[in-house]
Structure 1
Amino acid sequence: MSTAERAFAPRWPKIGAGLMGLALLMSLALVFFSLNREIIYEGIKINGIDVGGMSQQEAVNAVEAVMKPVLQREKLTLNYGGGTWEINLDGIGGTFSYYKAVEKAYGIGRDGNPMDRIKKIMDLKENGEEVELEFNFDALALRAFLERIDREISTPPVNATIRRAGEEFIVTPEVYGIGVDIDTTVDEIAADLRRMDFSPKQLVVETKIPEVTGQKLERISSRWSVFSTVFNTQSTGRSENLKIASTAIEGSVLKPGEEFSFNQVTGPRIAENGYQEAPVIFKGELVPGIGGGVCQVSSTLYNAVLYANLEIVERHNHTIPSAYVNMGQDATVVDKVLDFRFRNNTDGHIYIASWVSGNRIYAAIYGEEREEDIKVKIRTETVNVIEPVVETVIDPTLGVGEQVVEKEARKGYRVKTYRQVIINGEPQKEELLSSDYYKPENGLIRRGPDDISANTDVEEADTPA
């Protein structure tokens, strides 16, 4: 090596080190300068989209330009049983959280002291960092989509049914239904959508179980009570009304806790429903009316319910005593005004039977075989007899001593009715069922004038001359 070479050789490493130091200082200066610039730092991406060096609004625009077509292109696809349903993401109110993601990207490298931030910014340039967009959707719109699918594929459950053949019962089994489990499907889809997993999904379908199953109805095997009343078959309109109402009741099944409404089950007493004209009680008088006689059906059923030891919810007595049941044991009904209602206060299903045979109408209650021997006694107590007032008026058109009963008088009553249950031979406390008032009906008699010949003589003797 020459003398000149030896003189310059040591300088090259020093110059190189100096240049590297200068470059580092310049880089640090640039990084330090960028600490306060309102841009997203280099190396940061949002869903693979490079937003480094952009302002927040520029980043929003850049990301939206790429991702907005995704909302129109991608679909939510649901599959079940060979069927497929699709809807565009914007059809469920789908949006990306552009501003939220950009705000997060902008915040990277802005925490800590200046040196910490410089280190982070330099690391970002070297290694980069990814920010994920969030996908949002309208849960109500998604539910509406699922409800439309449910209307297409759902099948309602069908309750088991029971019919009576004499004292035997024939049960038709229940049918299970299906339907979209909307809540579960929404939860499962939502989790995937928020991760921007737009792959096809499976509908979650649930089985719909009928309220009444054959297993429950098959337990109905025991007749708890039966009650009958007599009617006049010569009254054709009234007889037909009894049959119509009785047929409507036959086969009614009550679940535990369920109520029976006579008016609801038998329907409006109108000619369109087949009811005919027959005498009805109106303001204490018998007058023609559509549906006359159905109160005998409700009264017969009332007594069957009493003897079955079921709970009475609503019951009203007539204004006058009935010919077919004891006072305190009748149950009048009027459309939309007075109803007869009772509740199945047992743990099992009950079957209500009602039928006409000859000149009798029957009502019976059937249920599960009871573990205890239950008997029921009904007792009616007449608290007060109210005598009517009979008014007599003179009618000169009638002969002497002649009289006509214009209006029959009828006694009134106040009665109390009790029920006592006897369980396994042990009488239980008596229950007051009702306190009823049957209004008296005042009478009216028209009578001819008395023999007035004697009175005429007296009047003439007292007349001044």
Structure 2
Amino acid sequence: MSAQAITSKRVNIIIFLNIILLFSSVSVLAASTAFLVTDEIYQGVTVGDINVGGLSVQQAEQKILAFFKVKFERPYIQVIFQDNVRSISAQDIDLNIDAAKLAKEAYLVGRTGSTFTRFKERYLSINQGHQLQLALTYNQDKLYSIFRTIARTVDREAKDAKLKVTGVGKTIEVVPEVVGYKVDLAKSMAEAAANLNTRPFLNLNLTVEEIVPAVCAKDLTEIDGLVSSYTTYFNPADQNRTQNILLAAKSVSDILVRAGEIFSFNNTVGLRLARHGYKEAPVYIDGKLVPDWGGGVCQVSSTLYNAILLADYDIEERTAHFRPPAYVPIGQDATVADNLLDFKFKNNSPHNIYITSEVMGNHLTINIYGKRITDPPQIQIIAADQKVVEPNTVIRQDSNLEYGKEIVEDEGEKGLCVTTYRIKKIDGKVVKQELLAIDEFPPVDRVVRMGTKIK
């Protein structure tokens, strides 16, 4: 080995030994400092981001107070949602800091516990730092009240996309959906509480639930024309019945039925109860016309039934009235009853459809909108094989009535039996004949009282 190489090696060794000596000296110095007893807070101790190392308790307290005095003069919390920012000052929520307590806690770092524990705390403080959490107090009720006020400006209901039909030509326009928002007050308060004691200033992103509407504009894009429409008439002078028709018609308006989906009248309209605004009006119960809640709703279900028949969708559930109503042809009614009788149909087309209703003057119209097709089939609903069933006559003897005298107590009603078909034609030719129902409306007995009293 050459003399030059040996010399270079010795130089490297000397440098390495000096580095070791330097680090050893630093360690010894740190250890010595850690063992050093002083009346000041040990170096490396911070209150939040405030360095209080080397200060007395009183000096630390003053430094903390001075720091937060400046902070408290400015908005302390910025509540953020999208582009909106709401500032909350320290005064708004009675925000305060216990500087004396924090200064004492800072002083106690490295001064409590066993000798080993104290030495360890001092050593770690000097070498790695020791951060104390801020001890802020605030009025939770005031903060909650502010959050609730903010929530009222943020919260909004989700709104479904809708079809808007205007003009003589029935121009169809899609009104986009509105995404809803709901502030989660509990989570927002929890996040504020978790961060107020760790930060000298808080930017808080409000916790908001996004509510996506059930119907979006994309669900309506293919709907471009009227598929079918049906109108029935009522007596607006019957205020209770009219009120019930209005409520039920509103419930089945602006309704999307997706391709392959089954629509339920009862699920859509809900219970016909007084608390929902429904009134008493005549309905058939056990074959008799009596007042009941929601009388008149069956006119809405029957009008919808006929619109669906003309649109050529599948009928899943339908029940005839006990007696045929006057507002639709015989065999074309669909009665409903809470939790008992429902009207259901299936959108068997490959496209979504949209239902609207209109109540004007004395008539109710239900429209079905969907995807236009070229040369749609002609749909006819016909009632065939109508049969009249004569009522029976029931004789009731009356001992209080003169012998041989007769009084007709009830004229009775004739019964009917009708078979209803849906006929589909293309270019005038029948391509399908579908049996819809065979409805039987039983006769009501004629009742006669016959006297048996003998003078």
2:269 counterpart of 1:261? yes
Counterpart of 1:173 in structure 2 is 175
Name stretches of at least 5 consecutive residues in structure 2 with no aligned partner: 1-27
Counterpart of 1:245 in structure 2 is 245
Displacement, 1:219? 2.9
Counterpart of 1:302 in structure 2 is 305
CA distance 1:182–1:227, change in 2 (3 Å) = closer
**Corresponding pairs, count:** 396
Distance 2:355 2:385 in 1: 29
CA distance 1:113–1:381, change in 2 (3 Å) = farther
Counterpart of 1:458 in structure 2 is none
Deviations 1:290-312 (A, max 9, x none): 98655334323234346533665
Deviations 1:42-85 (A, max 9, x none): 4355432247898xxx9998898778867855642437899763
Counterpart of 2:323 in structure 1 is 320
Superposed, 1:198-217 pairs within 5 Å as 198=201, 212-214=215-217, 216-217=219-220
Give the residue type in structure 1 aligned to 2:397.
V
Assess if the C-alpha contact under 8 Å between 1:260 and 1:341 holds in 2.
Answer: no
Range with greater deviation from structure 2 (130-139 or 239-248): 239-248
Counterpart of 2:446 in structure 1 is 443
2:368 counterpart of 1:365? yes
Counterpart of 1:86 in structure 2 is 87
2:137 counterpart of 1:133? no
Displacement, 1:198? 1.5
Counterpart of 1:49 in structure 2 is 52
Distance 1:88 1:357 in 2: 56
2:335 counterpart of 1:331? yes
Distance 1:448 1:123 in 2: 116
Displacement, 1:268? 3.9
Assess if the C-alpha contact under 8 Å between 1:249 and 1:265 holds in 2.
Answer: no
CA distance 1:96–1:438, change in 2 (3 Å) = farther
Counterpart of 1:285 in structure 2 is 288
CA distance 1:416–1:127, change in 2 (3 Å) = same
Superposed, 1:77-226 pairs within 5 Å as 77-78=77-78, 85-89=86-90, 106=108, 108=110, 129-134=129-134, 145-152=146-153, 159-164=160-165, 168-171=170-173, 173-174=175-176, 195-198=198-201, 212-214=215-217, 216-226=219-229
Displacement, 1:286? 3.7
Displacement, 1:260? 2.5
SS across alignment from 1:260: helix
Distance 1:360 1:120 in 2: 86
Distance 1:341 1:391 in 2: 39
2:354 counterpart of 1:351? yes
Give the residue type in structure 2 aligned to 1:86.
S
Distance 2:359 2:396 in 1: 45
Assess if the C-alpha contact under 8 Å between 1:227 and 1:364 holds in 2.
Answer: yes
Larger Rg: 1
Displacement, 1:262? 7.2
Range with greater deviation from structure 2 (404-413 or 240-249): 240-249
Distance 1:408 1:187 in 2: 75
Distance 1:242 1:152 in 2: 38
CA distance 1:129–1:360, change in 2 (3 Å) = closer
Displacement, 1:217? 3.6
Superposed, 1:13-32 pairs within 5 Å as 31=35
Counterpart of 2:4 in structure 1 is none
Assess if the C-alpha contact under 8 Å between 2:183 and 2:208 holds in 1.
Answer: yes
Distance 2:443 2:357 in 1: 33
Deviations 1:5-49 (A, max 9, x none): xxxxxxxxxxxxxxxxxxx9xx98x949x6xx9x99743554322
SS across alignment from 1:219: coil
Assess if the C-alpha contact under 8 Å between 1:101 and 1:131 holds in 2.
Answer: no
Assess if the C-alpha contact under 8 Å between 1:316 and 1:331 holds in 2.
Answer: yes
CA distance 1:120–1:242, change in 2 (3 Å) = closer
Assess if the C-alpha contact under 8 Å between 2:175 and 2:217 holds in 1.
Answer: yes
SS across alignment from 1:252: coil
CA distance 1:60–1:378, change in 2 (3 Å) = farther
Distance 1:247 1:123 in 2: 74
Assess if the C-alpha contact under 8 Å between 2:71 and 2:201 holds in 1.
Answer: no
Distance 2:63 2:98 in 1: 10
Assess if the C-alpha contact under 8 Å between 1:111 and 1:117 holds in 2.
Answer: yes
Give the residue type in structure 1 aligned to 2:253.
S
Displacement, 1:149? 2.4
Assess if the C-alpha contact under 8 Å between 2:97 and 2:135 holds in 1.
Answer: yes
Percent sequence identity over matched residues? 22
Relative to the length of structure 1, the TM-score reads 0.53
CA distance 1:119–1:434, change in 2 (3 Å) = same
Assess if the C-alpha contact under 8 Å between 2:249 and 2:300 holds in 1.
Answer: no
Give the residue type in structure 2 aligned to 1:365.
I
Distance 1:239 1:120 in 2: 84
Give the residue type in structure 2 aligned to 1:252.
S
CA distance 1:249–1:109, change in 2 (3 Å) = same
Assess if the C-alpha contact under 8 Å between 1:160 and 1:174 holds in 2.
Answer: yes
Assess if the C-alpha contact under 8 Å between 2:390 and 2:415 holds in 1.
Answer: yes
Give the residue type in structure 2 aligned to 1:309.
D
Deviations 1:326-356 (A, max 9, x none): 45843145xx787856588688654334568
Name stretches of at least 5 consecutive residues in structure 1 with no aligned partner: 1-23, 272-276, 453-465
Assess if the C-alpha contact under 8 Å between 2:249 and 2:359 holds in 1.
Answer: no
Give the root-mean-square deviation of aligned CA atoms: 6.8
